[in-house]
């Protein structure tokens, strides 16, 4: 089961965010039970609360034997026409994500973007 979960972990995208707009995001650590993990960024405009962006409770990740831990949240301002993403703010329920980690994940996914972050704002 461990090898299957590790393979499932390798298929989990590092970044899944909406194509544009301002929306909440969460930084999560996904790991195979008892195994190594990786941090992933999820942000969607349809998620009214940060917890909805996780999709954890009985979701597809849990069904693949993966465990998710929310490390915090914030907001993303994604401006695709300008090739810019600004990471800021915090989650009332989960606290502030480490925006520097989020920024590195986004830079890997969007190498031609200008990606900035700040701890100010909500």
Mean pLDDT of 20-30: 94
**Is the model's pLDDT at 49 over the cut of 70?**
no
Is 107 annotated as contributing to ligand binding?
no
The mean pLDDT of 42-54, rounded to a whole number, is 69
Other beta carbons within 10 Å of 106: 24
Active site residues: 50
- pLDDT for residue 5: 75
pLDDT category, 48, cuts 50, 70, 90?
Answer: low
DSSP state of 106: H
70-107 pLDDT tens trace: 999 999 999 999 999 999 999 988 999 999 999 999 99
- Predicted confidence at residue 1, as pLDDT, reads 59
Which CATH number do you get for residue 43? 3.50.20.20
Note down the domain range covering 54.
Answer: 1-118
SS3 string of 33-101? CCCCEEEEEEECCCCCCHHHHCCCCCCHHHHCCEEEEEEEEEEEEEECCCCEEEEECCECCCEECCHHH
> How many domains, the chain?
1
Residue 22: which residues within 8 A CB-CB, separation 6 or more?
A: 45, 75, 76, 77, 78
């Amino acid at each position: 089961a461990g090898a299957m979960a590790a393979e499932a972990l390798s298929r989990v995208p590092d970044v899944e965010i909406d194509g544009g707009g301002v929306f909440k995001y969460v930084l999560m650590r996904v790991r195979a039970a008892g195994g190594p993990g990786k941090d992933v960024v999820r942000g969607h405009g349809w998620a009214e609360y940060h917890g909805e962006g996780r999709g954890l409770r009985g979701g597809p990740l849990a069904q693949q034997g993966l465990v998710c831990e929310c490390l915090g949240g914030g907001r993303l301002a994604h401006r695709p026409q300008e090739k810019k993403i600004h990471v800021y703010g915090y989650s009332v329920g989960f606290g502030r994500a480490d925006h520097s980690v989020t920024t590195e994940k986004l830079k890997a996914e969007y190498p031609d973007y200008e990606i900035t972050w700040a701890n100010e704002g909500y």
